Amino acid sequence: GAVGMAARILHRLRHALGGEGGREERARDGGEAEDCPESSELEDDTEGLSTRLSGTLSFASHEDEDEEEEEEEEDGGAGEEPGELPEPTGEAAGPPGGSLLTRQLQELWRKSRSSLAPQRLLFEVTSASVVSERSSKYVLYTIYLIRSGQFDKAPATIARRYSDFERLNRRLRSRFGCDMAGIAFPRKRLRRNFTAETIAKRSRAFEQFLSHLHSIAEIRRSPEFLEFFFLQDLRAAQRLTCTGMYREALATWANACRLQERLGVCGSGRFLLTLAGLAVCHQELDELGEAHSCCEQALQLLEAQDSHPLLGPFLQAHVHLAWKVGKDKRRSEARLQGLQEAGLPLQQQPSLKECLIKEPLE
């Protein structure tokens, strides 16, 4: 898995950075040292699998460059893609070019360790179960979203079936035709859908499919991609909150919150709604400290906004909860005062719970 790949990359880097030692070794082996096999490990002639899982730290040799893929790292990441570095050729291995390449590699390695590792998101199918309903039978795939380089105490999970992936694939292809051209998707089968072999191949293909989509910045930020992960949870949590099932709702809001954190969309309106859901459920379950923290987080996000429809409700909830748990409420009171002076009728402001119930989740 990841450890083996990291070991091979390190081994390859040692070759590249080792300079003299590496060249002597190549001379002893009689020719070029064998290419690192990390890409061949992912080659698979089965349906729907890309030959190379994008987003991994790969040092492409010249032969690989034909199968270039659209890959972009996170915005804060390294400026150059690892795949763009040329392999040391005969001339470049001489002193002037060689030391430059070594510096480039060292710099890249330093950057990739500091900024890329924690931001990379891994998609892992952890289980797949065959579900039989009255009129249909399907496989439900459970997928964990894991931040590489960080330990997640609570996992962010989704459970999706083939038709959900197929809908996402269709929607993305109609909007991002060029970017999607090189992305493989497992084709539909008429038979043998429930064999262990098919399920295992599809699990791996779905992991690659999501990783590949996530490596393209424009797709990664699109509502089609994002809402595939958390819209179902938001709808379910809203329904449970409305029917007074606060404990179940809380777990669903919390998973939606973790999904949005992993996907890096904690500034959106959906995320504020999620914090409202968490605050309401914690308050209803008499977990006032937790409810207060959710309001604090929301108000930090709303720091620069004076006209957001959730601002008044969050401020009022914050003042009430701060009073209950003995925390400072003066800042929120001053902000409410300012809104009132600017003409916002606070008496007519809906509560957070009313906002949740009324919000249509399309």
pLDDT tens string 333-343: 999 999 999 98
| Of 21-25, 99-103, 192-196, the least confident | 21-25
pLDDT at 31 over 80: no
In this prediction, residue 190 has a pLDDT band, given cuts at 50, 70 and 90, of confident
Taking only the tens place, the pLDDT of each residue in 215-260 is: 999 999 999 999 999 999 999 999 999 999 999 999 999 999 999 9
Residue 178 has pLDDT above 90, yes or no: yes
**Per the confidence metrics, is the pTM higher than 0.75?**
no
The residue whose two tokens read 């081994």 is: 11
Provide the pLDDT confidence category of residue 101 given band limits of 50, 70 and 90.
Answer: confident
Sign for the pseudo-dihedral over CA of 246, 251, 257, 260: negative
Residue 122 pairs in a beta bridge with 146
Each residue of 63-78: b (16+ CB within 10 Å) or e?
A: ebeeeebbbebbeebb
Helix (H, G, I), strand (E, B) or coil at 30: coil
108-118 CB burial, b ≥16 within 10 A, e <16: bbebbeeebbe
Which pLDDT tens digit goes with each residue over 122-163? 999 999 999 999 899 999 999 999 988 778 788 999 999 999
More reliable by pLDDT, 113 or 125: 125
- pLDDT of 15 > 90? The answer is no
202: burial class by Cβ within 10 Å (0-12, 13-18, 19+)?
Answer: buried
Residue 346: per-residue pLDDT: 83
pLDDT, position 218:
95
The answer to whether the beta carbons of residues 208 and 125 sit under 8 Å apart is no
